[in-house]
Amino acid sequence: MRTTKRAWRALGVLLLAVLLALPLAACGKKAEAPEKSEPATGEKSPAANAPASGTAKKEPVTLTVVTPPDPNSIPLLLLYAKQDEWLKGDVPVKLQVKLAPGGDPSAMKALIQNRDADFALFNSLGGRKMYEEGQKHIRLVGTHVWRGVYILTPQDVKDWKELNGANGIAVPGVQTPPHILAQKALKKQGAEVNFAPMGPGEALWTTLSENQQGIKVVAAPEPLVSMILMRQEKDNWKTKYKVFADPVEVLNPEGKIFPLGAVWLVNDKLLDTPEGVKAGKAFVEGFKKAIAYANDPANRQEAVQLLPKYWKEVFNQEAPPKLFEMMLSSGRLGLDFKGGPEAKDTVFSLWKNVMGVEGDPGIICTKLYQ
């Protein structure tokens, strides 16, 4: 598929809208409680639609999952593509995947408060913040993205010392996970960088390709890292960049992981019925299968053909197969699902040691693991 400049621009705008919305939803001021509205899906809660036990024929439980167009969505889109194969169980499950609200942080807060989805995929720190701000019904089902944020520099940079006092760009903005992790890693290595926020749009491509501002550091998540590496070759940028360091490895040199992307239970009422619990468990098991599939090189050719198709269907944006192939084959995307109870000690420890924040045990989803 030939990706035009218009398609790249549209993809960048979509990524910007959602990447900005989710961190802001996590870190912004507490919003006033919105009026109760009908679910965005236009359907009743799956928990309400779940069939009573003992019926002769069980109707499928429809699970609605929202996700931003970032690495969180990779296993979800694969599960969506193969749901007929991977969502078999005692209770039939139908998966509905939707784009997470972007642009206005209050929209994501409203979706969660109104339980307008069953599950949502977004960063672990954002969910923790929402929980602390009063969204006490959400639960951490599991963490699945442990690496995926990087520090890029011009290709001629060889040492951390060269970055001290340099100008940098934080994508999609400051006080987001890419910026915070990169800044902490740089400081640990003795480098202070002056970061400015910039979204993944045309301004970013122009700034990096011409580099008239003398940018020496870019803090960015996947898939923007892969997009930068692809764009600089395609458009023959004057300044070429490389992946200089993984801030997660700098901050956690022994484990080399940090809880980035997570699966959150939004509709806690789903688990009020045995059928709902079974449907939730089926989703978790299917999600694990999708991650195992994504991590297996034997599936790479099929995966990079499926992902553009469902990326287009869910996000209504074109994305070249090469983008997904680069992400999956580079080793830069650390996908490994760890259920809430299993991951609790690791997640809480890293939150505290790296970010200086505590975790409340009540945030962990336990019903899906009993």
Among the listed residues 244, 254, 263, 248, the one whose alpha carbon sits nearest the alpha carbon of residue 354: 248
CA distance 267 to 92: 18
Which DSSP string do the residues of 235-286 spell out, in sequence order? TT-SS-EEEEE-HHHHHSTTT-----EEEEE--GGGGGSHHHHHHHHHHHHH
Q: What is the pLDDT of residues 120-171, one digit of tens each?
A: 999 899 899 999 999 999 999 999 999 999 999 999 999 999 999 999 999 9
Q: Is 89 helix (H, G, I), strand (E, B) or coil?
A: coil
- Backbone φ/ψ region at 217: left (φ over 0), alpha (ψ -120 to 50), beta: beta
Q: Given this chain, do its domains 5-49+56-146+258-369 and 149-245 carry the same CATH topology?
A: yes
- Cβ-Cβ contacts under 8 Å for 66 (sequence gap 6 or more): 97, 98, 99, 100, 101, 111, 117, 119, 120, 121
Residue 206 DSSP code: H
Statement: residue 273 has pLDDT above 80: yes
Please, which pLDDT band fits residue 68 given cuts at 50, 70 and 90? confident
Q: What is the pLDDT of residues 78-88, one digit of tens each?
A: 999 999 999 98
Q: Where are the domains of the chain?
A: 5-49+56-146+258-369, 149-245
- 5-49+56-146+258-369: in CATH 3.40.190.10: yes
Matching CATH number, 149-245, of 2.40.10.10, 3.20.20.80, 3.40.190.10, 3.30.565.10: 3.40.190.10
CA distance 71 to 121: 10
Please, which pLDDT band fits residue 203 given cuts at 50, 70 and 90? confident
Q: What are phi and psi of 268, to 5 degrees?
A: -65, -20
Give the per-residue pLDDT at 6: 56
The token pair that represents 97 in the structure block: 């995947």
The token pair that represents 245 in the structure block: 């360091």
Statement: residue 254 has pLDDT above 50: yes
Among the listed residues 228, 238, 193, the one whose alpha carbon sits nearest the alpha carbon of residue 332: 228
